[in-house]
A and B are shown apart, each in its own frame.
Chain A
Amino acid sequence: MHTLLIILPILFAGIILVNKTATKNLVAIFFVAVLALASLVSYFSFESPYVADLPHFSHSLFIFVDIVLLLYFLVQGIVKTHSVVTLLSLAQLVLYGVLLSLSQTISSSDILIDKLSIMMYLIINMVGGIIIIYSLKYIQSEELSEFKKRSFIALEFFFLAVMNFLVSTNNIEIFFMLFEFTTLCSYLLIGYRSDAIATSNALKALWMNQIGGVVILLALILSSLHYDTIHFDLLIANIEDIYLIPIALLGVAAFVKGASIPFESWLLGAMVAPTPVSAMLHSATMVKIAPFLMLKLAPAMSEFVSLSITLFGTFVFFTASLMALSKDYFKEILGLSTIALLALMMAMASIGTAEAIEACLVLMVFHAISKALLFLQAGILEKSFHLKYMKDIDGLIDKSPLVVFFIVIGFASLTLPPFGAFIAKFMAIESISELIALNPLYAISLLFIALGSVFLTLLYFKVLTKLFAKDIDTKESSKIIISKYYSYTSFALVALLVLGIFVSYKMQLLNSFEIFIPTLLILTTLILFASTFFKKAHRVKEYYCGEKERLSVNMYYFNIPESFIKTVHLVSVLFLIVLVLGVLL
C-alpha cells in the first residue's frame, strides 16, 4: 500500500505527460481518486509502525540521481549567471562528496511509516488531489503551450510522489535527496510563466532552499562522524546532550523550508507562480515539511534547544502577522499568515509534551485544508475577476456571493470556534500555560502567541471590508458564474472542514457543548441568510448626514516602517546563531 503511494504518482505523471486525448481531465480525476483512496485505506488499516529496507541497488541509484540534481542546480546558476546559486551548488557538491566518503557502521531500516506519516499521507493526497483537480481548469486558461500545460499536471503528480516518499523515509541521506527534489519542483513551478519576475523569484527560492540543503549536509556529516549513523531513529535514540549540533542544524533547515524570518522573501516571491502552485507547495504540502521535521526531532531536544525553538517560533508567529497588515497583494497576505502558522506549529512541536504535539498535528491538518481553500479563492479572483490587489476588490458580494462565502469560511476556520485550527491554537495556549511554572521565559512565548493570534484575526477580517459591502442600488444582475471545477473543489474542502468538526468531537479535543454550540450558531446564520427576507420592513438608504452622494469604501492599511523589518531580520538571525552556538557550548 505504501509503495503504491510512492510509485503510482510517478506512473500517473508519465501517463499524463503523453496523454493527448480529450479525456485527459477525467483520467487525472480518476488518478486523484485512486491516490486519495489509497491514503484513506492506509490510514484506517494502520496498526503498528511499518519498517522496510530498500533494495541495495536503490542506494546507488539515489546517489546518482542526487549528483545529477546538484549538477542541474549548478548549471542553472551558471546559465542564469546567479553567483549565489553557483556558490551554494558547489558547496553542496563538495559536502556531498565528503558525505559519500564516510561510511557508517550501524544502520537501520530505510522506510519507517508511523502515525505521523499516515497523517501526512492524508494531507498530501487528499488536499493535494483536490488542488490538482482545480488546476486542471486553471491551467487551461493560461497562455502556455499544450505540452507545458500537460507537464504542469504531470509535475504536480510527481511532486505528490516525492512528498509521499519524503514522509516515509528514515534515512537522512534519502531525506536530503527528496528535500532537494522539492526544491527542484518549487524552482520549476515558480518559474513556470517564464517572464522576468518569475525567473528571478524562482532563483531566489532556489538559493534560499539550498541554504537548507547545505545545512542538512553539514548535519549529516557531523551525525555520521560522531553518532556513526545516518538514520533518524538511531540518531534520536543515541542522542547525547553535549553533542546536539546535528539536531540544531536540522532545525535550521526546517526554518528555511518553512520560510521563517529571515527567509520569508522566497515564499512571498513565490506568489507570482500560478495559484495551484502556491496552494499546493507553499501552503498545504511542501512547507509542511518544516513542522514534520520538527516533530521527528522533538524527542531529542534538550531544554535549551526546545526553549529557544519555541521562543523563536512564537516570535516569528507574532512578527509575520504584524508584517502582513501592511500588504496589499491578497496572496502575500495569505503567504505571511502561512509563515506565521508554520512557526507556531514548529514551536508546538519543539515543546514536546503530548498535548503540544497533538496541537501541532491538528494545526497541520486543518491549516492545510483552510489555506488550500483560501488560495483556491485567490486563484478564482485572479482568473474570473482579474483581481490581485485588495484595493481593487469592491462589491464582490454582488458579483459572486459564493466566492465571498468561501473566503469568509476560510478565514473563519482559521480563527473561530468550532473549527480545527482554532482548537489547535486553544490547545497551544493550554500547553504553554503548563510550562510557565517551569520556566518564566515561556510567558514571553505566551505573549507572542496571544498578540499574534489577535493580529491574525485583525488581518483576516480587515480583508473582508471591501468584499462584504452589498450595493443595493445596482439594478442589473451582475452575477458571474464560476466554473464547476472551481466551485466543486471548494465545496469539497468545505466538506472536509465540516468533517473536521465531527472528528474533533470524536477525538474529544473539546467537549460536546463547546463544539456544537458554535456550529449551531454558524449554521443558523447561514440558514437565516438563505431564507429570511423581512418582507414587512421598508428598505432605506444608509445614513450619510442627509447627503445624496454615493460612497466608495476603503480599507485600513498599517504602515510598517522599514527599520522595523530590518530589526526583525537582525533579531531572527541572532536567534538562529544563538541556537547553533548554544548547542556547541
Chain B
Amino acid sequence: MFDLKKYRKKSPWILHYNAGSCNGCDIEILAAMSPKYDLERFGVINTGNPKQSDVFLVTGPVTLRSRERLVELYTQMPEPKVVVAVGSCTCTGGVFRDMYNVEDGIDRYIPVDVYIPGCAASPELIIDGLVQALDILESKTKEMEYPYKLAKDVKVEDGVINRRDVARGVEDKDEED
C-alpha cells in the first residue's frame, strides 16, 4: 500500500481551544486564517470538533476551570495528533506565571510538540510553528497518547477499547494526582 503518512501533512485540520487566554493569540490565529496570511492554502480547516481534527492549537495559561475541558478535548482527538502551544502564556505561563489562578502552561497536562513564543504570537510565527508541527505529525504513530494528569486508563471490554471515561474530573478522587 502506498505511504499514507505523507498525506497527513497535506490536510491538517485544526482544533482551536482557548484555555483562559486574554484572546490576543486567538485573534492572531483567526488573522492567520484571513486572506492576508491564508492558512487554508495548506489545506487547514478550522473544525470545531475534536473528533475530526489533527492539530490541537491551544492558547492561554491553563486556568482552573479549563483544566478538565482541556484534557477532555485532548482525549477526544484521534491519533495521530500534535499539540501546538501558541503564545508565551501557553508555553510557560507568560505574564501570569506563578499566579494562584493559572497552571503555568499546558505542558503539565498534555504532551506538547511545538512551542510558539510571543505575546501575542504573530501570524507568521503561527504559520511557521504549524508547518513544523506537520513534520512532527508525519512521524507519529497511531498509538494512544495519554494526558499527564486528570486521566484514567482505558477500559477494555470484549476486546473493544473504550475511551469514554479517560478524562477524569478534578473532583474524582480515585487516583493519585
Mark each residue of chain B from 161 to 174: 1 if its CB lies under 8 Å from any CB of chain A, else 0.
11111010100000
Of residues B76, B78, B169, which shows the largest number of chain A Cβ atoms within 10 Å of its Cβ?
B76
User: What residues on B are CB-neighbors of A473 within 8 Å?
Assistant: 164
Of residues A533, A537, A538, which shows the largest number of chain B Cβ atoms within 10 Å of its Cβ?
A538
> Does B72 sit at the interface, judged by CB under 8 A?
yes
Contact with A538, one of B68, B163, B169 (Cβ below 8 angstroms)? B163
With A539-B161, A547-B72 given, name 17 new contacts (CB 8 A).
A473-B164, A533-B160, A537-B160, A538-B78, A538-B144, A538-B163, A539-B162, A540-B51, A540-B163, A540-B164, A541-B164, A541-B165, A543-B50, A543-B51, A543-B76, A545-B69, A547-B69
Contact with B164, one of A472, A535, A537, A547 (Cβ below 8 angstroms)? A472
A533: shortest Cβ distance to chain B, in Å? 8
B75: shortest Cβ distance to chain A, in Å? 8
A447 to B167, CA, bound (A): 53
Complex interface residues of chain A between 514 and 542 (CB less than 8 A to chain B): 533, 535, 537-541
User: What residues on B are CB-neighbors of A540 within 8 Å?
Assistant: 51, 76, 163-164
Q: Nearest 9 A-B pairs (CB), nearest first?
A: A546-B69, A546-B72, A539-B162, A538-B161, A541-B164, A546-B73, A538-B163, A540-B163, A535-B160
> Does B35 sit at the interface, judged by CB under 8 A?
no
User: What residues on B are CB-neighbors of A545 within 8 Å?
Assistant: 69
CB nearest to A472 among chain B residues: B164
A539-B50 in contact given A548-B68, A548-B72, A548-B169 (Cβ < 8 Å): no
CB nearest to A533 among chain B residues: B160
User: What residues on A are CB-neighbors of B169 within 8 Å?
Assistant: 548
User: What residues on A are CB-neighbors of B162 within 8 Å?
Assistant: 538-539
In the complex, 5 of the A-B residue pairs with CB atoms within 8 angstroms, ordered by the A residue number, are A533-B160, A538-B161, A543-B76, A547-B69, A548-B169
A543-B69 in contact given A535-B160, A538-B162, A548-B169 (Cβ < 8 Å): no
A314: shortest Cβ distance to chain B, in Å? 44
CB nearest to B49 among chain A residues: A543
Complex interface residues of chain B between 25 and 63 (CB less than 8 A to chain A): 49-51
B38: shortest Cβ distance to chain A, in Å? 28
B148: shortest Cβ distance to chain A, in Å? 17
Mark each residue of chain A from 448 to 483: 1 if its CB lies under 8 Å from any CB of chain B, else 0.
000000000000000000000000110000000000
User: What residues on B are CB-neighbors of A535 within 8 Å?
Assistant: 159-160
CB nearest to B69 among chain A residues: A546
A539 to B161, CA, bound (A): 6
User: What residues on B are CB-neighbors of A537 within 8 Å?
Assistant: 160
A539 to B163, CA, bound (A): 6
CB nearest to B165 among chain A residues: A541
Complex interface residues of chain B between 127 and 177 (CB less than 8 A to chain A): 144, 154, 159-165, 167, 169
**Count of chain A residues with Cβ under 8 Å from any Cβ of B?**
14
CB nearest to B77 among chain A residues: A540
A540 to B165, CA, bound (A): 8
A546-B164 in contact given A535-B159, A540-B76, A541-B76 (Cβ < 8 Å): no
A317 to B93, CA, bound (A): 66
CB nearest to A473 among chain B residues: B164
A472 to B154, CA, bound (A): 16
A546-B68 in contact given A540-B51, A540-B76, A541-B76 (Cβ < 8 Å): yes
A541 to B167, CA, bound (A): 10
Mark each residue of chain A from 538 to 558: 1 if its CB lies under 8 Å from any CB of chain B, else 0.
111101011110000000000
A545 to B68, CA, bound (A): 11
A540 to B176, CA, bound (A): 24
- Whether A539 pairs with B160 at a CB distance below 8 angstroms is yes
A526: shortest Cβ distance to chain B, in Å? 22
CB nearest to A546 among chain B residues: B69
CB nearest to B161 among chain A residues: A538
CB nearest to B154 among chain A residues: A538
CB nearest to A545 among chain B residues: B69
- Whether B164 pairs with A539 at a CB distance below 8 angstroms is yes
B70: shortest Cβ distance to chain A, in Å? 8
CB nearest to A543 among chain B residues: B49
CB nearest to B75 among chain A residues: A540
A541 to B76, CA, bound (A): 7
A476: shortest Cβ distance to chain B, in Å? 14
Of residues A472, A537, A545, A548, which shows the largest number of chain B Cβ atoms within 10 Å of its Cβ?
A548
CB nearest to A541 among chain B residues: B164
A145: shortest Cβ distance to chain B, in Å? 51
CB nearest to A537 among chain B residues: B160
User: What residues on A are CB-neighbors of B163 within 8 Å?
Assistant: 538-541
A547 to B71, CA, bound (A): 11
A472 to B163, CA, bound (A): 12
A226: shortest Cβ distance to chain B, in Å? 74
Of residues A472, A537, A546, which shows the largest number of chain B Cβ atoms within 10 Å of its Cβ?
A546
User: What residues on B are CB-neighbors of A472 within 8 Å?
Assistant: 164
A454: shortest Cβ distance to chain B, in Å? 30
A547 to B68, CA, bound (A): 8
User: What residues on B are CB-neighbors of A533 within 8 Å?
Assistant: 160
User: What residues on A are CB-neighbors of B161 within 8 Å?
Assistant: 538-539
A539 to B156, CA, bound (A): 10
A541 to B155, CA, bound (A): 13
Of residues A533, A537, A539, A547, which shows the largest number of chain B Cβ atoms within 10 Å of its Cβ?
A539
User: What residues on A are CB-neighbors of B78 within 8 Å?
Assistant: 538
A469: shortest Cβ distance to chain B, in Å? 16
Complex interface residues of chain A between 208 and 245 (CB less than 8 A to chain B): none
A547 to B164, CA, bound (A): 13
CB nearest to A547 among chain B residues: B69
User: What residues on B are CB-neighbors of A547 within 8 Å?
Assistant: 69, 72
CB nearest to B52 among chain A residues: A543
B150: shortest Cβ distance to chain A, in Å? 11
A533 to B78, CA, bound (A): 19
User: What residues on B are CB-neighbors of A546 within 8 Å?
Assistant: 68-70, 72-73
A535 to B161, CA, bound (A): 8
CB nearest to B17 among chain A residues: A546
A42 to B89, CA, bound (A): 86
A538 to B73, CA, bound (A): 15
B23: shortest Cβ distance to chain A, in Å? 17
A538 to B78, CA, bound (A): 9
A533 to B165, CA, bound (A): 20
B127: shortest Cβ distance to chain A, in Å? 26
